[in-house]
Amino acid sequence: MSTIDDKKACELDAKAVEIRETLIEMLVAAGSGHTAGPLGMADIFTAFYFHILNHDPKNPDWEERDRLILSNGHITPIRYSAMAHAGYFSIEEAKTLRQFGSRMQGHPEREKLPGVETTSGPLGSGLSEAAGIAYGARMDGKKFRVYCLMCDAEHQAGNLWEGAMFAGNNKLSNITAVIDRNNIQINGMTEEIMPLEPLADKYRAFNWHVIEVDGHNISEFINAVEESKAIFEKPTVIIAHTIPGKGIKEIEFDYKWHGKPPKKEEADKFLRELRTLGGTIECYDQE
Burial class of residue 225, CB neighbours in 10 A (0-12, 13-18, 19+): buried
DSSP assigned state of 124: T
Q: In CATH terms, is domain 6-279 a member of 2.60.120.620?
A: no
pTM for this prediction: 0.96
- Which pLDDT score is estimated for 1? 57
pLDDT tens for the 287 residues of the chain, in order: 578 899 999 999 999 999 999 999 999 999 999 999 999 999 999 999 999 999 999 999 999 999 999 999 999 999 999 999 999 999 999 999 999 999 999 999 998 999 999 998 789 999 999 999 999 999 999 999 999 999 999 999 999 999 999 999 999 999 999 999 999 998 999 999 999 999 999 999 999 999 999 999 999 999 999 999 999 999 999 999 999 999 999 999 999 999 899 999 999 999 999 999 877 887 866 44
Cα gap 182→199, rounded to integer Å: 13
Q: State which amino acid sits at residue 180.
A: D
DSSP string, 26-67: HHHHHT-S--HHHHHTHHHHHHIIIII----TTSTT-TTPPE
Cα gap 109→50, rounded to integer Å: 22
In contact, 134 and 56? CB cutoff 8 Å: no
Domains of the chain by residue range: 6-279
- Which pLDDT score is estimated for 278? 77
